[in-house]
Structure 1
Amino acid sequence: MYHPVFDGHNDFLLRLLKDPERREDIWLKGDGTGHLDLPRMRKGSFAGGFFAIYIPSPMAHDAPDFQEMMQNPPFEVPLPDPIPAHIAQPTALAMAGHLLWMQRAAPDDFALCTTVVQIRDAMAKGKIAAIMHMEGAEAISPSLDELPLYHAMGLRSLGPVWSRPTAFGHGVPFKFPGSPDTGPGLTDAGKDLVRACNEMRIMLDLSHLNEVGFNDVARLSDAPLVATHSNAHAVTPSTRNLTDRQLAMIRDSGGMVGLNYASGFLHPDGKEGADMGWEPILRHMDHLIERLGEDHVGLGSDFDGATLPKGIGDVTGQHALQDALRSHGYDDAILAKICHENWLAVLERTWGGS
């Protein structure tokens, strides 16, 4: 038996943004590219998850080959420049529009949800339950005037930063080896954003935030601390991974971490590449379970946003992942928690049960 998977992070909307004229083929039919589409989600027991609105950085003509850098540790990828809100907003609205279109194009198969009741209802009916997430808040100005608009559109999860800085705080660079303690904390606007998200019950995602910013959120927020797609720094010392101290703070807040499938954040040497077995994934899962407890760990794939281990490959590899975890000693009760129950529980603690 394979458990339905509720997933902490994907970048499928970015694929639609890059090729909008083919979005029916990409979403409904599945063209065999990328990691996600409706047919493969069905095949891989994908029950729902967080669909990210993300603003891609303009690429300079003389930019280094970042993929090559990450395949040859040690490395430090230079961060792109900040993107002002008026530049980011059209892209964010286009991606939100694609997410709403996905529901219109497949109303019997896909539902945009804003409550846990809606998620459970969608899953019971065999629909994929989607949460609108914002990965980096560039499309929101420091005044926060746009936040109620996005909330009205369905936004229920937000990361103040991707890795580049925003008006709200500073992300970690892609660096190996490295510590997440890489710069200053939240700005005054960032602190206002945390308070506003708490008031509106928008989940705050700490995955890309640096350590001082993480500490600021922990001090200011009354909600569980959540990292939707991060791994253990003790296993792979990447800036993008969480230290044991951060994991303890997440545990003590009633929060959780979604295990990221990105190969560079899994492999002990930080090297990005699909050629790895199950051992790095199992080591991270073991460490997260040890530090957080079995009620505070889930899956946060980074589908369509990362290079995945060959054993997973795409969304259909989630069955192989469950087989590997089961063979490693995880029983069905723990697997059910990891695959979907813990995500729904932390959303209930964050949003409330209605």
Structure 2
Amino acid sequence: MLPIIDGHNDTLLAATSDRAGGAFLTESDDPEGHLDLARAEEAGLAAGIFAAFVPNEGEQDDWSELPPAVDHERARRIVDEQFRTLHGWADATDRFRVIGDIDDLDACIDGEAVGAVPHVEGAGVVSPDLVNLDSLYEIGVRSLGLVWSRPNAFAHGVPFEHGATPDIGPGLTESGFDLVVACEERGILVDLAHLNAAGFWDVAETVDAPLVVSHAGAHHISPASRNLTDEQLDAVAGSGGLVGCTFGTAHLRPDGQRGVEGRSPSGSRALPDDAPLSVLLDHIEYLADRMGVEHVALGSDFDGASIPDEVGDVRGLRTVLDGLEARGFDRADREAIASRNWRRVLAAWWS
């Protein structure tokens, strides 16, 4: 069974909030959420990038508008809680470990444990003067998303808008440029998911490391502001980087529909939240055709988005690989998408 590295999940948020999920170490005949340890082992998940995320305060009614920036102190408290949870899981069992370097990752690929790469989705937890970046590294952060879909002191995100491009808003702030350089110096991967186009191009001109977008789709298929244009895909490939293909249905579907309580906005008909597996495979195939298979990986967004029913949960990673085989991706291609590409870019950043 091919080992798999998945580029993004929100399981820590699910475990520390009232969302579905949370019993990561508890085996159940009726598990909640998309991801827990038992199902990860069944799926052959070698490692995942586990995101700490600070949710918005209050309800967000219009997702085409950017939420406000998060309070820095609140972000620090929540991220600290989520990382304590992550390390607690690792302390509780030798079947799960927190990954700090490439040797840890290789051990997980070899089957010693399921591994977690600690990630922060949105740099609001980082002080604008970067004074706490080293302490974040010390508690395990090895990957950092500059933004979620809201602004902060470093960069600007994109709204969840269909029929739009990521070319929205200004580029990195002065602190943003400093943060990108500091991350590259320390070996913290900079993730460009949720970042607007101007910020994307600023990072591309600043770093020597591979460009990485942990969870996104092809704008050519689904023209969402969260997805990547052909020009961005070309830049990722040219840098030796990768795109982890999202499983989020709203960013897979060509029509971008999410559904509103099971009804269309007009109330006239039911709208499915689902997307067929074929559409997910279409995105992966398009990314491979455009960039080369060596620049394509998996970035599910488990426990953070609605995913195709045919995938279901982490065990459906095997279904995705089987679907790629049926489309003519040979074993070497599937190995690259399943784990080798993530292993390569993580090693490049961490070195």
Q: TM-score, normalised by structure 2?
A: 0.92
Task: Give the match for residue 102 of structure 2.
Answer: 116
> Share of identical aligned residues, percent?
40
Deviates more, 1:247-256 or 1:265-274: 265-274
Choose the corresponding residue for 2:85, options 73, 98, 112: 98
Distance 1:174 1:217 in 2: 22
Structure 2 matches for 1:128-277, cutoff 5 A?
A: 128-272=114-258, 273-277=272-276
Distance 2:281 2:37 in 1: 28
Task: Give the match for residue 72 of structure 1.
Answer: none
Distance 1:230 1:125 in 2: 28
Task: Give the match for residue 70 of structure 1.
Answer: none
Task: Give the match for residue 72 of structure 2.
Answer: 85
Following superposition, the deviation at residue 314 of structure 1 comes to 0.5
Distance 2:284 2:92 in 1: 36
* Equivalent residue letter for 2:326: S
Rate the CA distance shift 1:27–1:15 in 2: closer, same or farther, 3 A.
farther
Deviation sequence 1:148-205 (CA, Å, 0-9, x none): 0010111110011000101101000000011000101111111110110011011000
Task: Give the match for residue 335 of structure 1.
Answer: 334
Q: TM-score, normalised by structure 1?
A: 0.91
- Show structure 1 runs of 4+ deviating over 6 A: none
Following superposition, the deviation at residue 278 of structure 1 comes to 2.3
Distance 1:327 1:350 in 2: 33
Distance 1:13 1:27 in 2: 12
Gaps of 5+ in 1: 67-75
Task: Give the match for residue 264 of structure 2.
Answer: none
Q: Does the Cα contact within 8 Å between 1:181 and 1:212 map onto a contact in 2?
A: yes
Q: Does the Cα contact within 8 Å between 1:274 and 1:310 map onto a contact in 2?
A: no
Q: Does the Cα contact within 8 Å between 2:2 and 2:44 map onto a contact in 1?
A: yes
SS of the aligned residue for 1:34 comes to coil
* Equivalent residue letter for 2:183: C
Deviation sequence 1:207-251 (CA, Å, 0-9, x none): 110000001111111211000011111111000000010011111
Structure 2 matches for 1:265-344, cutoff 5 A?
A: 265-272=251-258, 273-344=272-343
Choose the corresponding residue for 1:27, options 25, 28, 36: 25
Deviation sequence 1:264-304 (CA, Å, 0-9, x none): 11111112354332221121111100111111110000000
* Equivalent residue letter for 1:210: N
Rate the CA distance shift 1:103–1:193 in 2: closer, same or farther, 3 A.
same
Following superposition, the deviation at residue 19 of structure 1 comes to 5.3
* Equivalent residue letter for 2:205: R
Gaps of 5+ in 2: 259-271
Rate the CA distance shift 1:45–1:226 in 2: closer, same or farther, 3 A.
same
Task: Give the match for residue 73 of structure 1.
Answer: none
How many residue pairs match? The answer is 336
SS of the aligned residue for 1:6 comes to strand
